[in-house]
Structure 1
Amino acid sequence: MLFVCLCAILQHHAAYVSNLNTSLQKRDDALSREDLAAVIELDHAIKFNGGGHVNHSIFWTNLAPVKHGGGDFEGNASQSVVNAIKSKWQSVEKFQETFNAKTAAVQGSGWGWLVYDPADKQLKIQTTSNQDPVGSLGVVPLLGIDVWEHAYYLKYENRRPEYLKEIWKVVNWKNVAERYTAALKK
């Protein structure tokens, strides 16, 4: 079962990449023909498929099995991430409650994000619809949680809040800390 699910996940992500490449080529062709209507239409496909690729690429690195540190906030998050989260939300539990509430409220499909906002020099929780890439909003994605039904339906059916509660057990805090450190250097 796990092998079948993993193959389906990889095929799903590969489809975003394939469709992105096709859309980029078609857009170049439309641009060379000066077909502005086609360029604009293809921009939507590029945003969707490009966002699907970017978002999932972050998501995969944000997850780790428990035996490889998944879910271990205190052991794997850098002190700077620990301090930033606790400064903003008072505790990891309050952060997770706030994150889960905002992310569970996404209408339809989308994502919940922990981001670093370089303009405000602070962490924020943001949500995006569909495959909209959060980085296009001028923030740096640190942690992305997929709340499209395909991410949780096989195990949780329509119980998105339960999925959100459980996913913290496999969050790769080491990766989040690496992303935060890199974001501070920009």
Structure 2
Amino acid sequence: MKMTVKALFAGLAIATATLATAPAFAQAAPAPATAPVAGPFSLAPLPYAYDALAPVIDEATMKLHHDKHHQAYVDALNKAVTADPALQGQTLEQLVAKAGTLPTVVRNNAGGHWNHTFYWKTMTAPAKSGAPSGALAAAIEASFGSLDKFKAAFKEAGTKQFGSGWVWLIVGADGKLAITSTPNQDNPLMDVAAVKGLPVLGNDVWEHAYYLTYNNRRGDYLEAWWKVVDWAEVSRRFAAARR
């Protein structure tokens, strides 16, 4: 099986190319400027209305998360890239792939931009969530025993991720599905990832992703989140990763 990062990015429609400090738990990125910072990267609109994921994720959380937190990552990334001639002309994909060789500010903000772009497209309105494709369902059963066992293992990994980070379903180099987690804004595409692979599903377990509704109950958020997973998109990603 030939897997490339390019295959994963196909169809993600990334508008290439940052976390506002609202509650105290969201202090890992700079506050966004009044206007977006000019540069090669930009923040794409959400692919649905702010309230489309309610009641699983409320409108206020979506506005804060997308318009403030994600915008702040884009702004910080643009600022860092425009200040460093060695980084100019590189795609988000290229920056993420060699994150371990880059300044921390670039690693964190390139990861934050990529992860959030991926995350928004992982979700849809509850009525449109659907189910895994036949091929994905079979792969989940082969790797985890059943869809319910997979969801339980995914929730456990997300709950046990210490501090802020992400939990992922990936296709590994062996073509099999695996669950992994990463700290901060790292992801499995990075050269620094402990477990590498092509992400097909990812959930943000930073507190800013769920605190307004779930407070400190990360497990409740992870449980409810399945109602807004866009299984058609996840299935498409899985098929692309296996090609």
TM-score with structure 2 setting the length:
0.66
Q: CA deviation at 1:8?
A: 1.8
Find the aligned partners of 2:199 and 2:229 in 1 and give their Cα distance.
14
Corresponding residue number in structure 2 for 1:23: 80
Contact 1:149–1:158 (CA under 8 A) maintained in structure 2 = yes
Contact 1:66–1:170 (CA under 8 A) maintained in structure 2 = yes
Q: CA deviation at 1:18?
A: 1.1
Contact 1:26–1:42 (CA under 8 A) maintained in structure 2 = no
Find the aligned partners of 2:87 and 2:241 in 1 and give their Cα distance.
36
Find the aligned partners of 1:29 and 1:123 in 2 and give their Cα distance.
36
Find the aligned partners of 1:49 and 1:94 in 2 and give their Cα distance.
33
Q: What SS does the corresponding residue of 1:114 show, helix, strand or coil?
A: strand
Aligned length: 171
Corresponding residue number in structure 2 for 1:114: 169
After TM superposition, the structure 1 = structure 2 runs for residues 42-121 of structure 1, keeping only pairs within 5 Å, are 43-67=103-127, 69-70=128-129, 72-73=130-131, 77-117=132-172, 119-121=173-175
Contact 1:23–1:42 (CA under 8 A) maintained in structure 2 = no
Find the aligned partners of 1:83 and 1:139 in 2 and give their Cα distance.
19
Find the aligned partners of 2:158 and 2:60 in 1 and give their Cα distance.
28
Corresponding residue number in structure 2 for 1:161: 219
Find the aligned partners of 2:143 and 2:200 in 1 and give their Cα distance.
15
Corresponding residue number in structure 2 for 1:140: 198
Contact 1:27–1:42 (CA under 8 A) maintained in structure 2 = no
Corresponding residue number in structure 2 for 1:124: 178
Query: Any stretches of 5+ residues in structure 1 without a counterpart?
Result: 32-39
Q: What SS does the corresponding residue of 2:103 show, helix, strand or coil?
A: helix
Q: What SS does the corresponding residue of 1:113 show, helix, strand or coil?
A: strand
Corresponding residue number in structure 2 for 1:173: 231
Q: CA deviation at 1:12?
A: 1.5
Q: Whose radius of gyration is greater, 1 or 2? A: 1
Find the aligned partners of 1:8 and 1:151 in 2 and give their Cα distance.
9
Alignment deviations for residues 124-176 of structure 1 (CA, whole Å, 9 cap, x no partner): 00100000122114411101100000001001100111111110111111110
Find the aligned partners of 2:166 and 2:117 in 1 and give their Cα distance.
13
Find the aligned partners of 2:102 and 2:87 in 1 and give their Cα distance.
9
Find the aligned partners of 2:162 and 2:231 in 1 and give their Cα distance.
27
Which protein has the bigger helix share?
A: 1
The 1:3–1:149 alpha-carbon spacing in structure 2 relative to 1, beyond 3 Å, is closer
Find the aligned partners of 2:63 and 2:159 in 1 and give their Cα distance.
27
One-letter identity of the residue aligned with 1:52? G
Alignment deviations for residues 108-130 of structure 1 (CA, whole Å, 9 cap, x no partner): 0000000011x211000010000
1:11 aligns with 2:68: yes
One-letter identity of the residue aligned with 1:143? L
Query: Any stretches of 5+ residues in structure 2 without a counterpart?
Result: 1-50, 52-57, 89-99
